[in-house]
Structure 1
């Protein structure tokens, strides 16, 4: 059942029933009160006239009798006054209603010796008539006095009042019902329908819907509460989406770390096997270069062989470092000092190309628990890669702290790294440099060092236009765990 109908049935209908009963009782009480006053007045007038008429009847003179009866008409609504003898015959009378009582009824009043009154109908008129015996001074009954008061529509008047009251009640009830229906529809049903419409749209998936804050104060609070709930849900959805994205990114980085670890172990094994032959080759080339029987051209070629062998040995060393498990010895270090040490090491590569280095750090400078040498190696490698990229004129290093983590950004305005290569930049031997200018192990070493510190590293397209690297490091040992 609808709320509107429920209110009408449980509140309005019982209220109207109570009002109807109350109105009927009030009208009935009014009618009884009017009748009672009418009867009382007639009886008082009858008793008053009976005293004076008793003398006139006893004297048997028509003149005093006529004067006494005429005096009765000075009272309001007295329309008839008659005197009857003991046999019920008229002695003298004036006005209307002479035949209201029969002779037998008059004799019965004499026998009861008391006033009798009642409503009587005669010739289409309604009277209230009272009959009382007339006594002399010695108490002897000599006749009967009848006083008639015309009921000038008292029943019709009260009936008219009842009809008018019922009509006014019906009209008022209809007006009240219409007012309640209109007010309910405008101030209750319409706001509820608007809120329900918003809820249905949200249920269908449109989370951008918001309720209009208007109408009565209760509905404004309800709409505001609904909007607050939807805003909170939207915020939670954004948090969940961001958390899912972070978890997906973390999962990708974990897979990358596992892949690099496996490659590092394989590379370390290969490097160990290559190391011994390279030592033999380097030794034999050195011995051959010492002989006097060879010429300068051969000795130069042997020197080039030894240089390439040294390069291979360095790559082998890096491979072995990449696959080795490390126990990082950490200490509490200031971030600005670590960045300054790294910038000093790459200053010779930045100045010749007029590359500007901007450092943006929070105040006070954060301290982190790390191995200073390895963190400087990471920063040096990233700054050197930025300095070696073509068309770079601006390099920026900035840091932000969030709870117990430090986020470090290294960015440049160079050509950047294609998006398709973002997932490969930390792979061993992957490089965008020309052949012979890079081993492709630098970023792999950076990834291994950051991973050993319990942090993460990723690549993104910088707002400066080039490549950007995001490093997250724990500030405390607890955060690292």
Structure 2
């Protein structure tokens, strides 16, 4: 049962029943009191004039009889007075109500010898009539006195007043019930429904819902408490989600580290096995190229052979670098100097392709504890990756300090990254370039260096239209024990690999 109906049934209805009973008892008591007063007054008047009428009957004096009856009309609301003989015949009378009693009723009063009173109706009027035997001073009953009083005052309207009071009570009760219903609905039910609606939406998964602290003070306090509970739950959920993402990222990092370690072992074995043959091939090609008996075409082919051999050696070296655990030697360095060094290394590529490089670096330039040479390699690889992207005409490099972290963003307006290629951007040997134009190890090397510095690198879709890389680095040394720990302060964003 709803609280509103429960309050009406258990509180309002019993209260109204008590008021109804009390009102009926009060009206009934008022009616009895009025009638009792009326009867008492009539009986007193009857006794007052009855004595003088008894003497008048004893003297057999019509004048005294008439004078005594006239004196009855000096009292309030006496409308009739009659004298009857013992046979019930009228002797003398004045006013209204002569025919209220039959002769038999008058003779019965003579026989009883007691004053009696009763209510009678005649011609649409209600009377209270008192009948009293008239006795001489010697005690002989010589007649009967009838005194009539008309119900023209409040005693005549007690029934009507009862009906009016009942109607007023019903109307008032309906108004009170409606007022309670409306007040309950506005000040209790509506605020409660708002809170229940918020709780239902939260239960359905909308954890951002909050209650509006309005309405009565109790509901405002309840809404504030509910919002506090939801905020605490949101904080806990966010903490759990962050831990979950961090565990996923750490698991991915661990798998990548194992993969790179295995790759390093494989590269070391490959380097050992093919090192000697490659040295022989390179040496023989160099000796053949020095002979004057060969033509320019053969010499160019030998030069290409030596270039490819050197490329194989470089790839093997990079593989060994990827799989090897590094103890980074760090020193305090200035960010602007590192960016300027990387820009100098790619300046020729920028000019050849007509690409504009925009930089937005903080002033003064932040200092960070890092291996400057490795970070220059990172920035150089990222810039070359942007420059070599199809359709690139503009590259933007920006940085900012947030607390104890440095955030560097590099974006371009090229063709961007295909959706299916994004999960593999930092995998070794993954490249979108034609065969022979890229080893697919550049961004893997960048990822390894950033990870060795205790930072993160993610890739996202730039608002310039192409790809963007976000590098986060600690300004101070966060790897005091030499272990690589990758914080994941932001969810991974999609990216592109060269």
Pairwise TM-score range, normalised by the shorter structure: 0.7 to 0.9
1:215-268 CA distances to partner (integer Å, 9 max, x unpaired)? Answer: 988999799989979997998899699857787667555544443343233223
- Give the TM-score, by structure 2 length: 0.71
CA shift for structure 1 position 12: 3.7
Question: Would you say the 8 A contact 1:211–1:223 is kept in 2?
Answer: no
Alignment partner, residue 35 of structure 1:
35
Structure-2 separation of matches of 1:279 and 1:46: 155
CA shift for structure 1 position 379: 0.4
Q: Which stretch shifts more, 29-38 or 297-306?
A: 297-306
Question: SS at the partner of 1:408?
Answer: strand
Q: Which stretch shifts more, 13-22 or 357-366?
A: 357-366
Q: Which stretch shifts more, 89-98 or 367-376?
A: 89-98
1:391-470 equivalent positions in 2, closer than 5 A:
391-401=391-401, 404-470=404-470
Question: SS at the partner of 1:415?
Answer: coil
Alignment partner, residue 297 of structure 1:
294
Alignment partner, residue 262 of structure 1:
262
Structure-2 separation of matches of 1:384 and 1:440: 13
Cα RMSD over matched residues? 5.2
CA shift for structure 1 position 427: 3.4
Alignment partner, residue 148 of structure 1:
147
Alignment partner, residue 380 of structure 2:
380
Alignment partner, residue 74 of structure 2:
74
CA shift for structure 1 position 399: 2.9
Q: Which stretch shifts more, 319-328 or 45-54?
A: 45-54
Unmatched runs of 5 consecutive residues or more in structure 2: 486-498
Question: SS at the partner of 1:102?
Answer: helix
Question: Would you say the 8 A contact 1:212–1:223 is kept in 2?
Answer: no
1:163-203 CA distances to partner (integer Å, 9 max, x unpaired)? Answer: 454455456656766x4698589869996998699679959
Question: Would you say the 8 A contact 2:263–2:320 is kept in 1?
Answer: no
Alignment partner, residue 63 of structure 2:
63
1:344-363 equivalent positions in 2, closer than 5 A:
344-362=344-362
Q: Which stretch shifts more, 61-70 or 383-392?
A: 383-392
Structure-2 separation of matches of 1:171 and 1:400: 75
CA shift for structure 1 position 22: 2.0
1:20-419 equivalent positions in 2, closer than 5 A:
20-49=20-49, 53=53, 56=56, 61-75=61-75, 76-82=77-83, 93-95=92-94, 96=98, 99-100=105-106, 102-106=109-113, 118-119=117-118, 127-129=128-130, 131=132, 146=145, 148-150=147-149, 152=151, 157-166=157-166, 169=169, 179=178, 183=182, 202=201, 252=252, 255-279=255-279, 294-295=291-292, 297=294, 300=299, 308-362=308-362, 365-401=365-401, 404-419=404-419
**Closer/same/farther in 2, CA of residues 450 and 396 from structure 1, 3 Å limit:** same
CA shift for structure 1 position 72: 1.0
Question: Would you say the 8 A contact 2:211–2:227 is kept in 1?
Answer: no
Structure-1 separation of matches of 2:203 and 2:318: 57
CA shift for structure 1 position 327: 0.8
Structure-1 separation of matches of 2:63 and 2:437: 158
CA shift for structure 1 position 423: 3.7
Structure-2 separation of matches of 1:249 and 1:467: 22
- Give the TM-score, by structure 1 length: 0.73
**Closer/same/farther in 2, CA of residues 151 and 221 from structure 1, 3 Å limit:** same
Figure out how many residues of one structure are paired with residues of the other and give that number: 463
**Closer/same/farther in 2, CA of residues 59 and 444 from structure 1, 3 Å limit:** same
Structure-1 separation of matches of 2:391 and 2:52: 141
Question: Would you say the 8 A contact 1:329–1:371 is kept in 2?
Answer: yes
Structure-1 separation of matches of 2:118 and 2:401: 106
Structure-2 separation of matches of 1:172 and 1:258: 85
**Closer/same/farther in 2, CA of residues 477 and 90 from structure 1, 3 Å limit:** farther
Structure-1 separation of matches of 2:90 and 2:314: 160
Question: Would you say the 8 A contact 1:128–1:150 is kept in 2?
Answer: yes
1:43-86 CA distances to partner (integer Å, 9 max, x unpaired)? Answer: 442454356557656765332232122221233224224488xx
Question: Would you say the 8 A contact 1:72–1:81 is kept in 2?
Answer: no
Structure-1 separation of matches of 2:390 and 2:377: 22
CA shift for structure 1 position 471: 2.2
Question: SS at the partner of 2:463?
Answer: coil
Structure-2 separation of matches of 1:380 and 1:150: 125
Unmatched runs of 5 consecutive residues or more in structure 1: 110-115
**Closer/same/farther in 2, CA of residues 185 and 289 from structure 1, 3 Å limit:** closer
Alignment partner, residue 11 of structure 2:
11
CA shift for structure 1 position 359: 1.6
Structure-1 separation of matches of 2:465 and 2:247: 27
CA shift for structure 1 position 20: 1.7
CA shift for structure 1 position 27: 1.4
Structure-1 separation of matches of 2:69 and 2:406: 123
